[in-house]
Structure 1
Amino acid sequence: MSIPSLTLRPATAADAPLIAAMHTASWQATYRNLLPAAFLDDEVGTERATWWRARMEAPGGDRRLVLIAELNETTPVGFVCVERQPDSPWGVLLDNLHTLPAWQGIGVGKRLMQAAQDWARARGESQIYLYVLEGNTAAIAFYERQGWQYSGAEPDRMGGADITALRYIYRLNAL
């Protein structure tokens, strides 16, 4: 399904609070049974606000793309962040891809993912990768439907809990 009124716009440092709020809402809905409730209910908002403020103000913005998806150019419904990783054997990192729960299933994630892939491809990259939490079955199914392939698992820590991050890769075809 296509959304004719969906636009993608580059994020600026001034958008850090908006991105953090969307990131928080996404994690609270998606990770409810994967991360501690105390983290999701009490800490994640502050943690994400601090993290996004620092990221959007950090040097190296030329090696990253952050886009905000908006319906009718006024209603933010998701965002994507993709970043070149110079020393990574996996290619470009699709670090964040979030659609607010009320807008999932209507094509926002596909559009954001395509924009990230196009950005990486335009920079001569041949592969893009991401991490998804083990147990996030909806996201895993979404990535696999889009042609992403599982390529490994790594232990990590998030919200005070030990987790397993599954790595998925997508080979970019030349234009």
Structure 2
Amino acid sequence: MRTLPVLSLRPATLDDAALIASIHSSSWQATYRGLLPDAFLDGEVTRERAAYWEARLGAPGGERRIVLIAELAGTPVGFMCVERQPESTWGVLLDNLHALPGYQGIGAGKLLMRAAEDWARAQGETQLYLYVLEGNAPAIGFYERQGWTFAGAEPDHMGGVDITALRYVYRLER
């Protein structure tokens, strides 16, 4: 009888900034091809995400967010960041949910999403929200299959181009 490797979650620390940046940029490079300029995805995205995560994980206000890393038998395969937004009418922001391309479909995204829901509930929140790039059909399909609903669109700017970010919400059951 074969045993399958186990998915697990662990809290991220400042020491994980480079790891998270690497997962984040790899995810964007695979997912946003055709949505963002190749020059951005092949060049500055890695440096930009490294600086972003170094600053974010070292920033004050860590009590308003949780960053978890998903591991498969000890190998990092994804991460999520969820953060309370004090002035938000939409609830808690699921700001990042990424699985490395070679590990999508193994349950890491669902496990990370459930952890985000649990954390938000523990904070006394009743709803999560996220943004997904218009045209990112695989992610949109994933979120909709998990029960998220479309709640609007907003203009944004990313990788040097104007984009449309679609807002999705998820009502937390008590």
TM range (shorter): over 0.9
- Structure-2 residue corresponding to 1:58: 59
**2:87 alignment partner in structure 1:** 87
Q: How does 1:12-161 map to 2 (within 5 A)?
A: 12-72=13-73, 74-161=74-161
State how far apart, in whole Å, the 1-side matches of 2:105 and 2:21 are.
22
Q: CA deviation at 1:4?
A: 5.7
Q: How many residues are matched?
A: 171
Query: Following superposition, which runs of at least 4 residues in structure 1 exceed 2 angstroms of deviation?
Result: none
Give SS of 2:105's match: coil
- Deviation of 1:117 after TM superposition, in Å, equals 0.5
Q: Distance in 2 between matches of 1:28 and 1:154?
A: 22
Give the SS at the match of 1:66. strand
- Give SS of 1:7's match: strand
Structure 2: runs of 5 or more not aligned: none
RMSD of aligned alpha carbons: 0.8
Q: Secondary structure at the match of 2:93?
A: strand
Unaligned runs of 5+ in 1: none
Q: What TM-score, normalized by structure 2, do the two folds share?
A: 0.97
Rounded Cα–Cα distance in structure 2 between residues aligned with 1:111 and 1:9: 12
Judging changes above 3 Å, is the alpha-carbon distance between structure 1 residues 86 and 141 closer, same or farther for their aligned structure 2 residues? same
1:40-63 residue CA offsets vs partner (Å, 9 max, x unmatched): 001000000000000000000011
Give me the TM-score of the superposition, normalised by structure 1.
0.96
Q: Identity, % of aligned pairs?
A: 72
Rounded Cα–Cα distance in structure 2 between residues aligned with 1:26 and 1:33:
14
Aligned-pair CA distance for 1:106: 1.2
Offset of residue 92 of structure 1: 0.1
Q: Distance in 2 between matches of 1:107 and 1:7?
A: 10
